[in-house]
Structure 1
Amino acid sequence: MSARVFISLGSNIEPQRYLKAALSELSYHFGELTLSSVYDSEAVGFDGSNFLNMVVAVDTSLSISEVVSLFKSIERNHGRLVGAKKFAPRTLDLDLLLYDDVVTQAPVELPRAEITKNAFVLWPMAEVAPDLLHPVLELSYQALWDEYDKTEQKLWPVPFVWAPS
């Protein structure tokens, strides 16, 4: 059985390099990737350099726990320090946003709250899955983005090219 999974990727330390590295690893583990545009956004929760963020969709037969474990491994492989502060600069941040329409608190919160709170997650989510319904709010991601207060957080689409190897 395969699940449709949505992943938030972010980096503010050599972000082009680390996003490309993460995409290569995700492609290796999951095959075909559906990519949003890449967005430049201000740091949220701390003063720091801007982040590059995007959303990636994949299909997987891995369990939620296996997906989360894989993401932690990819982060560590690319210089993310175990136990680093939540609001701090980072080489790579991979967050599981959705696993099909599963709603749970363990092993991680799904759907992830950041989807509706952060423009850098919601805008690319609306881009890759505009008609998909949020499993709790039962509104499409496009409708959620249309209703989002865009004065809250500033972000801009930026050029980004990644070619699968």
Structure 2
Amino acid sequence: MAQVFVSIGSNADRELYIGRCLDALDALFEKLELSPVYESESVGFDGDNFYNLVASFKTELSVGELSKQLKQVEDDNDRCRTSPRFSGRTLDIDLLTYDALIGDIEGVSLPREEITENAFVLWPLAELAPKERHPVLAETYQQLWLDYDKEKQLLNPVSFIWHERDLSA
């Protein structure tokens, strides 16, 4: 089974859609592990703030099959695919890593570049898997976060409870 990490974000009815996403992932995949939830400003457009977190789980699906499954979870949660790329959304799930695969795998670029570009991906990832190593850079996520320019994007920990699980930082 492959170990995967995905980022999850929402800026529309955030508690509802993040909760629905976690319910779906928990039903579909084994050993769902979750980072704390953070609030970030929208990137690339003016819009409502996002809630973001990272999830990890194991799967037997191929990269392509997993990508389709994640898109289906988005679609099941009112994701509009006709909006501009940089716009608000009910739910955004991005595959960050799939084991240590590198390159374009079944139409998915791995590892996802956003890992090192966006605080709302890197900080939750470093919280969830501090000792895991980036497949290309070979640095731990904890070290990458320590080296990240924290002035670039501001994040705020938020209080978030999902099925009596406290996902607060």
TM-score, scaled relative to structure 2: 0.94
More strand by percentage: 2
In angstroms, what is the RMSD of aligned CA positions? 1.0
Aligned runs of 1:8-23 on 2, under 5 Å? 8-23=7-22
| Counterpart residue number, 1:64 | 63
SS of the residue 2:43 aligns to: coil
Unmatched segments (≥5 aa) in structure 1: none
Aligned runs of 1:107-126 on 2, under 5 Å? 107-126=107-126
| Counterpart residue number, 1:93 | 92
Q: Structure 1: how far apart are the matches of 2:83 and 2:142?
A: 33
SS of the residue 1:109 aligns to: strand
| Counterpart residue number, 1:145 | 145
User: 1:76-122: per-residue Cα shift (whole Å, max 9, x none)?
Assistant: 11100123321000000000000000001231110000000000000
* 2:47–2:88 contact (8 Å) kept in structure 1: yes
Q: Structure 2: how far apart are the matches of 1:61 and 1:135?
A: 20
| Counterpart residue number, 1:43 | 42
SS of the residue 2:70 aligns to: helix
SS of the residue 1:87 aligns to: coil
Unmatched segments (≥5 aa) in structure 2: 165-169
User: Number of residues paired by the alignment?
Assistant: 163
Once the two structures are overlaid, the 10-residue window that deviates more, 116-125 or 81-90, is 81-90
User: 1:12-69: per-residue Cα shift (whole Å, max 9, x none)?
Assistant: 0001100000000000000321000000000000000100000000001110001100
SS of the residue 1:79 aligns to: coil
TM-score, scaled relative to structure 1: 0.96
